Structures are given as C-alpha cells and as structure tokens.
Structure 1
Amino acid sequence: MTAPLPLPLPESFALQVRGYDREQVDERIDELLAEIRLLTADRDAAVTEAEHLARQLERARAGHAELSARVDRLCRTPADPAAVGDRVRHLLELAHAEADGIVATARERAAAIVREAEEDADRRTAEARARAHRIVDDARRRADRLAAIERRTADRLRRIDAFLAGAAALLDEQTPLRAVA
C-alpha cells in the first residue's frame, strides 16, 4: 500500500541571496521522488493484485457454472446409493423410505376414496332404481286407471250410440205430424 506523504509539506523554501537554498530543494525533490517511486510500486502491485483477483473471479465463475450444471444434472436423475458415501447413502435410504411411506399412505387414501365413491355410487344407484320402480309403478297404476276410464267411457258411448240409433229409428217410423192450419 501507499505510505502517506510526510505532513506538513513546507509551503516555501528558505530564500538565499540568489534564490532558494539549493540543498533544501534537492532534499525535498529526493523525498518526493522516493514517494513517487513508492506510490508507483504500490500502484503496480495493486494492478497486479487486481489482475490476479480478476483471474480468480473468472475461475470461480467457471467453477460455479460447472457446479450449477452438475447440481442440475444430479437433481434430474435419482442418485444411486452405491455411487455415494456412507452418510449420503444413509440419507438417500431414509429419503427413499420416507418416499415409500408417502406413496403407501397416498395409495391407502386413494383406495379409501375409491371405496367411498363406489359405496356412494352403489347407494345412489339403489336409490335411483327404487325411485324408477316407484315411478314405473305409479305410471302403470295411472295407465290402468285411464284404461278403465277409457273402457267405461267407450261402453257409455256405445250405449249412447245405441240409444240414439234406437231413437232415430223410432222417429223414422212415426208419421210425420201435419202442420195444423
């Protein structure tokens, strides 16, 4: 890093008969040149360090991309317990056992739902059949009543027709009344 400039800097040099004190000016220039060399070295070191860190960052990014791709690939395919360490194998076995338990519970729930649905469907089918039988029986009774009414009505109509035919025959046999003048 850079060393701080010595403070305070002289604001002016001592005057001699013919200008500044040459020795004092040379010392100050030597100090400033040394400070410039130090600052230049610090700057060069910082640039080198920045380049080194930039290379490390690029390697880290490439590694991250590779690891992300590997994680994605591992997540897409189930892990083979034989290909991993003991601890991971144990965790995978536990996960498989838990998954098997979840699947078994889901199958039991599905079977219960199917049973309930079948029982409900059977009950509703039985109720619908009973209702259909009642409707058919009611319809048959109505049809029988209507048929009986129709038979009685037909019988009455035949009797009325016979009566009317008899009345018409009687009227035809009688002599017409003459008009009274």
Structure 2
Amino acid sequence: MVAPEKPQSAPKTTQFAVGVRGYNQRQVDERLAELTKEMRETARSRDEAVATSSDLTKALAYAQKELAETKAALARMSSSPSGAGAMAERVRMMMQLAEEEIADLRAAAEADAASTRDQADKYAHETRRTADKLAKDAEEERARLLSEAKGEIEKLNAAAGAKRVEQAAAAERARKEADAKAEAAAAAARQEADRVAAEELARKKKAFEDEYAAKRKAFEDEVARKQQETESALTSARAQQTEADRNRKLALDLRKKVAERIAATDVAVQEAMRLLAPVEEAPSNGDRKPSPAPAPAPAAKG
C-alpha cells in the first residue's frame, strides 16, 4: 500500500522590497509563481491520496471477494462428511480474523484519504488567501506610492518650471554674448580676408604685368625678326626683278633682231623667186601682162 504524502505547511508572509510604483514587481511575480507551484504540488498530493484511497478500496473489494470464495469453500467442506465438523471452528476463526483485518484496512485507508483531502484543501485555501492578501497589500502599497509619486512629480514640475525660467534667462544672456563675440570675430575675419585678398590681388597683378612685359618683349622681338626677314625677302625680290627686267630687255632686243633678219630673208626670197620666174610671151593683141609687184616685207614686231 502506498503511503500518502503529507502536505507542506503554509508559507509565512514574504516581505517585498518597495519600488517607485509599489512593491518590486519581480519579487511579487516570483512569489506568486512559488505559490502557484506549491498549489500544484498540493493538488498533485491530493490526487495521489485519492488514488491511494481508490487502490485501498479495490484491495478491500478483492479481499471481500476472496472472503466470499473462502466462505463458499468452507460451506462445501462443511457439507462433506469427512472431517468437516472438526474444521468448522478453525475456519470460522480464520474468517473472523480476515474480516477484522479487512475492516481495519478499510478504516485506515478512508481515514488517510480524508485526512489528506482535508489537509490539501486547507493548504490550498490558506495559500489562496495568502496570495489574495499579498496582492491586496501590493495594490494598496502601489496606490499609496503612486499618490506620493504624483505629489513628488508636481513638486518637481514646479521646481523645474522655475529652473527652466532661470535657465532660459541665462541662455538668452549667453546667446547675446555669443552673438557679440561672433560679430566681433566675423568683423576681424572680414578685415583679415580683405587684407589677404588685397595682397593676393597685388601679387597677381604684378605677376600679370611681368608676364605681359615678357610676352610683349617676345612679340616685339618676333616682329623685328619678321620685319628683317621681310626686308631681306624684298631686297632679294628687287634683285630678282632687276635681273628679270634685264633678261626681258635682252629678250626683246634678240626678238627684234630675229624679226629683222626674218624680214630681210623674206625680201630676199621674194626677189629670188621673181628673178627665177620664166618670162611670159606677149599677147597677140600687143598687150603685155604686167609682172606682179613684189610682196611688201612684213613689218618688224615691236
């Protein structure tokens, strides 16, 4: 027979640490989890006790069945003529002892089951009542701390308002001082920038003038060189023109001489042809055909 487990005693009230918004939520959750676990263990113990009572009831029924079978066997033995009377008293005593043992077992099982059930119910009730009380205390403490926190927040807001006004005035003063410093720094920066710009402008102007002078000198040198080359080319061209004029004059003289010689040659040829031509007979009527006049010499080309 399995002995039922005894339930644990009711836990003492746990003191929780106080937080800003009531009790410490983590501790409350942990305690509630522990109570829930204990309630589950108590319920499991109660179920085991009920199961044990059921097992004892089954054992009692089995013993009663065996007792009935034994009684039937004894009845059959009593009806037998071979020694039944001698064994009747002994069998009766055995049956009486068995019935007493069965009754004791049943009473013990029922007592254990009832005790276990009562203790489990009592422990569950006490645990639930303790949890409800803790939850109620935590809610009251949370409400109290919330009220105190609201009052403290209002005080802090009032102090913060005055502090904000003071900080705003200080910030305005600091802003004005910063603006003045920034304006002075900007003026100094502008003055320095103007000075640097003037120096840079003067430097660039001087560099430009130097570069312009160098380029102008190079340009003048190039112009002088080109003029010299041009004059040399003109001198050479004039010499070539003079030579060409002299050659042209010589060519004209030569042409004139050639033309004169050609003209003289033509005259000589015509005269030779006239002299070499045969004399024609005079016509019968006494008219003579005049001889052709010599062709004039071609004029010499200028």
Superposition TM-score, scaled by structure 2 size:
0.34
Shift of 1:145: 0.9
CA distance in 2, matches of 1:32, 1:130: 112
1:1-181 equivalences under 5 Å are 2=10, 38-49=122-133, 51-52=135-136, 56=139, 85=158, 87-172=159-244, 173=246
| Greater C-alpha radius of gyration | 2
Q: Report the CA distance shift for 1:166/1:99 in structure 2 as closer, same or farther (over 3 A).
A: same
Q: Report the CA distance shift for 1:150/1:37 in structure 2 as closer, same or farther (over 3 A).
A: closer
Shift of 1:160: 0.7
Shift of 1:141: 0.9
Give aligned pairs, total. Answer: 140
SS in 1 for 2:239: helix
CA distance in 1, matches of 2:219, 2:11: 124
5+ residue gaps in structure 2? 1-8, 13-96, 105-111, 252-302
CA distance in 1, matches of 2:113, 2:220: 140
Structure with the bigger RCO (C-alpha within 8 Å, sep 6+) is: 2
Q: Report the CA distance shift for 1:35/1:153 in structure 2 as closer, same or farther (over 3 A).
A: same
Q: For residue 274 of structure 2, what is the aligned residue in structure 1?
A: none
Q: Report the CA distance shift for 1:33/1:145 in structure 2 as closer, same or farther (over 3 A).
A: closer
Q: Report the CA distance shift for 1:39/1:161 in structure 2 as closer, same or farther (over 3 A).
A: same
CA distance in 1, matches of 2:216, 2:169: 69
5+ residue gaps in structure 1? 5-16, 21-27, 72-83, 177-181
CA distance in 1, matches of 2:184, 2:165: 28
Structure 1 contact 3–39 (Cα < 8 Å) conserved? no
Please give the per-residue CA displacement for 1:73-109, whole angstroms capped at 9, x wherever unaligned: xxxxxxxxxxx74x44432232113322332343244
Please give the per-residue CA displacement for 1:98-142, whole angstroms capped at 9, x wherever unaligned: 322332343244334433442343133213311221132123312
Q: Report the CA distance shift for 1:29/1:170 in structure 2 as closer, same or farther (over 3 A).
A: closer
Q: Report the CA distance shift for 1:34/1:162 in structure 2 as closer, same or farther (over 3 A).
A: closer
**Structure 1 residue identity aligned to 2:178:** A
Q: Report the CA distance shift for 1:170/1:33 in structure 2 as closer, same or farther (over 3 A).
A: closer
Structure 1 contact 2–39 (Cα < 8 Å) conserved? yes
CA RMSD of aligned residues (A): 4.6
Superposition TM-score, scaled by structure 1 size:
0.50
Structure 1 contact 2–42 (Cα < 8 Å) conserved? yes
CA distance in 2, matches of 1:37, 1:158: 137
